[in-house]
């Protein structure tokens, strides 16, 4: 990947896709939305209304 090129990232991702990106295979195989509820509950995401660090 050439960071000085404006389209470097795009070209890099295109080459990955062309040669079989394993993350694309996982995305096509696994329905990650199925796990969203468990992850949100398990990771304890709050609504953020309090904000900041607790005293």
Instruction: Give the count of domains, the chain.
Output: 1
In a domain, 39, yes or no: yes
Q: How many CB atoms lie within 10 A of CB 55?
A: 3
- pLDDT for 46 equals 66
Residue 1 pLDDT more than 60?
no
In a domain, 52, yes or no: no
- CB burial class (10 A; 0-12, 13-18, 19+) of residue 43? exposed
In a domain, 55, yes or no: no
Residues 46-52: what's their mean pLDDT?
Answer: 68
In a domain, 48, yes or no: no
In a domain, 3, yes or no: no
pTM of the model as a whole: 0.48
- pLDDT for 2 equals 55
Higher pLDDT: 7 or 36? It is 36
Domain that holds residue 17: 8-43
- pLDDT for 30 equals 93
């Amino acid at each position: 990947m050439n960071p000085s090129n404006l389209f470097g990232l795009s070209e890099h991702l295109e080459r990955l896709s062309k040669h079989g990106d394993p993350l694309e295979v996982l995305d096509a195989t696994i329905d990650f939305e199925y796990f969203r509820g468990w992850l949100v509950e398990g990771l304890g995401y709050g609504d953020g209304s309090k904000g900041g660090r607790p005293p």
